[in-house]
Amino acid sequence: MINVWENTDPRQEAENFAAVWGLGGTVLLDRTGEYAARLGIRGVPTNVLVDGRGIVRAVGGTTPDELHAAVRELLADD
C-alpha cells in the first residue's frame, strides 16, 4: 500500500486503512505525490497491483470483484 495523503501521520493513517480492510503487506509513503502522478492516479483510494519482480501490472479496480478478477488474471500470466 502507498499512502499519498498529507496529514500529521500518513503512515498511521495507511496502517489504519489496511487494518479496516484486512490488507496485509508493506506500507509505503509517497510524500510528494510524484509516484502517484507517474502512475496517472488522480483519486484515492486507488489499487495498484505489483508483481513479484516489483513491476506495476494494474492500476485501478475498486470493488472486491474487480480486484479478484485482476489478481486471477495476473496469476494466470505467471
Q: What is the DSSP string of 19-51?
A: HHHT--S--EE-TTSHHHHHTT--SSS--EEE-
Q: Output the pLDDT for position 78.
A: 64
Q: Are residues 3 and 37 in the same domain?
A: yes
pLDDT 10s per residue in the chain (78 long)? 566 666 567 778 878 878 887 877 777 778 778 888 888 887 777 788 888 788 888 887 678 888 888 888 888 876
State how far the Cα of 6 lies from the Cα of 33, in Å rounded to an integer.
9
Mark whether 4 and 30 lie in a shared domain: yes
Given this model, what pLDDT does residue 44 score? 73
CB 72 within 8 A of CB 64: no
| CA separation for the pair 46, 41 (Å, rounded) | 7
pLDDT of residue 52: 79
Residue span of the structural domain in which 22 resides: 1-42
31 and 51 belong to one structural domain:
no
Judge if 1 and 37 occupy the same domain: yes
Same-domain pairing of 10 and 33: yes
For residue 54, the model assigns a pLDDT of: 84
Cis peptide leading into 64, omega within 30 of 0? Answer: no
